[in-house]
Amino acid sequence: MAIADIGNMTRAAERLHVAQPALSKTLANLEQELGVALFDRQGRRLQLNAFGKVLLERSKRVFSELEQAKQQLTDMASNNAGHVTVGVTTSQILPNIFVDYLSQHTDVKFKLFQVAGRYEIARQLRDGVFDLCITSCRLHNCRVTTLSQNENCSPKSYS
């Protein structure tokens, strides 16, 4: 990932605190194992090609899953299972939403994070940063359940 971010083998090796020849060899071994080049080389500049972009996106998902697994195990070990991470685009509506729930479920704790913008909150929800999010606008490419206060919070599901 460092090579893709930086686009230069020497600077990527410096960031990773490894020798440049070792990083070059690792990349060569990976490309040989996969049977495709992952970068287009233009002098010392390395640019991800279509194969590299696919591998990078899938690798990010794998690392995200590992982080989520690590967090879940940490929560289980420290008995933090009652914590819910919530992303919000506005915090003005929160008191009305959580008051009744928290009064009935005193063992649950909420961690709230305010996020600017629906695209960023949608990305973080998809990546598992939040257990749920509250936003005033519809999110696309997410599995969404909409709660309306006018209907006593009876859920309507959207895919």
Q: How is residue 91 written in tokens? A: 């915090």
DSSP calls for 61-82: HHHHHHHHHHHHHHHHHTT-TT
Domain 2-60 is in which class? mainly alpha
Q: Which CATH class is domain 82-158?
A: alpha beta
Reported as a pLDDT band with limits 50, 70 and 90, residue 155 is very low
Q: Which residues of the chain does CATH 3.40.190.10 include?
A: 82-158
CATH 1.10.10.10 in the chain, residue ranges:
2-60
Of 2, 48, 41, 43, the residue nearest 22 (C-alpha) = 2
Residue 100: strand, helix, or coil: helix
Alpha-carbon distance 159 to 157, whole Å? 7
68-93, pLDDT tens digit by residue?
788 777 766 665 567 788 888 776 66
**Mean pLDDT lowest for which of 13-17, 112-116, 153-157?**
153-157
* Arithmetic mean of pLDDT, 149-158: 40
Q: Which of 115, 70, 111 is nearest to 90 (CA)?
A: 115
pLDDT of residue 121: 82
